[in-house]
Structure 1
Amino acid sequence: MFQALLDRGAVQGRPLAQYGAQDTPRLLLVITTSFGDLVASTAALEVLRQTFPKAVIGVMGKHPFETVLKDDPRVNALIPYWGKYRRVCRTRRMIREGRFDTALLLNMNDPDVIPLLYVSGVRCFVRMPGRTTIYRRICANQNDLGTGIEGEHMYEAMDRIVRYFGLSLPSPQPVLRPSPAAQDQARRFLDGAGLAGKRLVAVHPGASIPAKAWSEGRFAEFIRFFHERRPDDEILLTGAPAETGKCERIARRCGAPVRVVTSELDLPAFAALFSHLSLFIGGDSGAFHLAQAFQIPGVILYFQTPVFRTRPLPGAGRYRILQASGAVTRHGVDAIEPADVVAAAMELQS
C-alpha cells in the first residue's frame, strides 16, 4: 500500500534542511541491523552532537542492542526496534513523541522501517550512500543511492552521510560514553571477582555467523599458549548470554585459568567493562567495535568476511589483522594458527 501511494505521488519526502550550530534540528539515527553496526554509528552520533549542541537526537536501534546507549548524554531519545511489524504501535508512539524532522538511515535492512517512520511523522530521509531502497524516491539523497565506492570502508560511507550536514568524521572509530551507573556496575564486578587493577585480556569467541568465527578448539589452543607466555594476565572469555555454553566449553578445554563473562552484566555495564581491558582477541564482531570505542589494542581475526569494510583504519588504535580463508565447519574456521595469534598479541604487548 505504501508503495502504491508513493507511485501516485501521495507520499513525498522533503529535501534536507541546512542547519547551523544554533539551530535545533530533530534528528533520528536509525540502525536496525547488528550490534556492531550500532556501536560503529556512535562515530556519527559524536560529531552530530558536537556540532549541534541544541539538537534533539534520537537513536532507533534493534532491541536489545540499543540499550548500550542507555543514559548516554548525547542521546535525547532511545527507541527500540523490535523487528518487522512487532510492537508497531509502541514504536510509532515513541517516534511521534520525538517529533523528528530528519531520519539518518545508517544501517537498516527491513523494508518496513521507512514506512513506519513516515507514518510516525518523519518526512526527510537520508540513506547511507551506496545503499538503496525501494523507497528511494522519498530520500533526500536519492541520486547517491546505489552508487557505492568499491572497497569503501563503513566509516568512509558514514563520513559521506554526515557531509550532507557540512560535517566530517574527525576519527574513524566509534565513541562510547558509558553512564556512571554502568561504570559502577563494571567496577563492582571487577572488585568482586578480584580482577581490579589486573591486566585483563578479553578473548571473544562469539560471532553472528560461522564464517566470522574461529573454532572452539583453536580458541582453547590460543588461550593455553598465551597463558604460558603471559601467566600474570587475567583472561576473560566474553560473550552474549546465548554464548555461555560455547565459552564454558572453551574454558574446560584450554587448561588455563579463565573467567567466563557472559551473563553477569547488562549490556551497558558489559560495554563499560571493555574500558578496563589491556588487550582484545576476537573476530569481526560487535565486541571488536566495543574495543575500538575504548581504543583497546587487539588482534582481529578475519575469515570469510570482507576486511575492507570493517578493518581498523589509520588513527583508530593499535591492531593486528590476521586473515585466512578456509572451510567453514559447524564450529567455525580453523585456518589461522593459534601460534600466529599469540605472536601478534605479544607484539602488541611489547
Structure 2
Amino acid sequence: MSIDKQYECRDCKQSFVEEDQFTTHLMQHLDRKLFSCAICAKSFSKNNALEIHLRSHTGETPFPCNVCEKSFSQKNNLKTHLRTHTGETPFNCQICGKSFSRRDMLKRHMWTHSENNLFPCKICGKSFTQKTTLDSHVQSHMQKFAYSCEFCSKGFMRRGTLEAHIRSHTGETPFPCNVCDRAFSRKDVLRNHMRTHTGETPFNCQICGKSFSRRDVLKNHIRTHSENNPSPCKICGKVFTQKTALDSHMQSHTRKFAYSCEICDKGFLQRGTMEAHIRSHTGETPFPCSICDRAFSRKDVLRNHMRTHTGETPFLCEVCGKAFSRKDILKIHIRTHAVKKFVI
C-alpha cells in the first residue's frame, strides 16, 4: 500500500498531497499577507516575519552576545554585532581589496568606484546614486513644490516630508519607543533613538574602522581624517570646516565690520547677526513657538526650544553615545570625559 507524500506549509501548518497544490498555496502567502499583528494591525506574508515584528512591541531581545552584555531582537543583528568583537570583514571589494563587516557597507563603497552609475545634477554638479533622488533634487532648484504647509506655507516635494513637517507645528509624536517612555515626531528620529538601546552603530568609517549610530556623526568624524578639508586660521589657529566660515572669522581679527548697531555701535560681519543683536535692545520676539505661547528673538533659539516638544537629540557624543538637544550641552558633557582621563 503506497503512502501519499505530504507537503506541509511551515507558515500555517496546512498539508497537501499534490506538489502543484502546495506551490499554489505558497504563492498565496506571498501575494496575500495572512499574518496580522494584534497590536498595530501590520500584516506579513510569513509567520516568522510576524514573530520578529512582535519583538519591536514587546522589547524582547532573545539573541544575547556571548562576549558582552548586549542582546538583540534578530539573529542577523547579533551576527553583525559579533563581528565588532572578532574583527571579521567577510564582504570584500573585488576592485580595491577593501573588506567590510556588512554587505550594505560594501554596496555603498562600490559606488565610489563607478562613475557611470552616478547621476549628476546639470545645475549644481552634485551627484546621486539613484535617478529618482536626482529628479527630486532638480525640483528643489526649480522650486516646483507639489505640497505646501497650511501653517507656514513652506513647500515640499513629497507628501511624507510635508506630514513630518506639520508635526513640528502640531507637536504630535506618533512614533513611541517600545523600550522607554519617549516618543518622536519622525520615524527616522525614533530609529536613531532605538540605537541608544540596541547599541547598533551601522555607519562605519572606511579609513579607521570606527562606527557610529548616526550618519551625520560619521560625516563630522570623517573630516578629522582629511587635512584638505579643515581650514585653519593663521592668526589664532582655530580650525573651520568651511572656507566661508574662516573668511568671516578672519574679519573678526582685522575688525573690519560691515555692519554696526545703531544703538550701541557694536560691529558685526553679517547683517543677520546684527539684526538679531538689535532685537536684544528692542525686545522683539518675531519667532513664536507653534505649540506653546513662548516667542524668541532668534530662529536658532526657537529651533532649540522646539526640541523640548519633539524630543529630538541631534547632538551625539562620540565617546559614550549619549545624545543631547543642544550643541553647547554636548560640549559641556564632552569635558566630563576629558576630566576622567586625569582622575586616578
Pairwise same-fold verdict (TM > 0.5) = no
Q: Which gives a bigger RCO, structure 1 or 2 (Cα 8 Å, sep 6+)? A: 1
TM-score range for the pair, normalised by the shorter chain length:
under 0.3
- TM-score, normalised relative to structure 2: 0.25
- TM-score, normalised relative to structure 1: 0.25
Question: Larger Rg: 1 or 2?
Answer: 2
